[in-house]
Amino acid sequence: MEIKNVTVLGAGLMGHGITQVAAQLAKYEVYMRDIKQEFLDNGMRMINDSLQRFLKKGEMSQAEVDQVLSRIHPTLDLKEAVADADLIIEAVTENPELKKKVLAEADAQAKPDAIIASNTSSISITELASVTRRPEKFCGMHFFNPPQLMKLIEIIRGAKTTDDTINTIVEVTKKMGKEPVVVKKDVAGFVVNRVLIPAFNEAVGLVNEGVATPEDIDKAIKLGLNWPMGPLTLLDYVGLDTTLAITEVMQKELGQKYQANPLLRQMVRAGLLGRKSGKGFYNWQK
């Protein structure tokens, strides 16, 4: 199946980035749908900011920036958004019930042959697919933050996903200039978060136990493991609330070894969510 028109459900942190990648690199016509005009405006502002950075670096011309923007269609109307979509990518908040509601609504309005993919970072693809009439045309398509720069997409097979669906999404991934990794089993956390969440948790534990400062923990991992960014800085970028939500899903599905460190929960309760709130393990307000 050839993909020409893409719809992204959600204009937030991930949604706007996925929209930009689909329009800029794959040159798809993209409808970006959200439920409030302010969310759409904010998403378009972030896309504009990102394109301006490419322009300043000399990586794009003004004409190319204009072309990308002309391919993006923000809308509040779900029916309009999905009417011609060959691929629908859901990128709403990491909340199973909200995702199911949005997916069921999109499925009801979409063409019968449209593929639906979820950008979930932890929720069962089989479970999300079950609210649609097309579980064989449903898969996970997990982008990494920020989608404009990160090269990886995890493509996750649900219990009923067909080879055709996976192969189509592998091609879409390559067209977007990304590297696909096919996750053959629908397990919580897929590949990256299965490794990353315990690393985050241990780093938070080291802070909680007073073993070292956040700065020194990050320095140790950067220099000792050659990570480009320390785990606590990365945690502030991802968001402590998002990380806690993923941890809770993984604990429920995979057992106690994924239980969140008490400090992580305490910081989320205190609104110390990282960059998005201005403070986490570091102060981002400066």
Catalytic residues, by residue number, are 142
Written as one letter, the residue type at 190 is F
- Tell me phi and psi for residue 272, to 5 degrees: -90, 80
Beta bridge partner(s), residue 154: 142, 181
Q: Between helices 214-225 and 192-208, what is the axis angle to 10°?
A: 140
Q: Which two tokens stand for residue 58?
A: 């000399």
Cβ 219 vs Cβ 231: under 8 Å: no
Where does the chain have alpha helices with state H?
15-24, 37-56, 62-70, 78-82, 96-109, 125-129, 163-175, 192-208, 214-225, 231-238, 240-254, 262-269
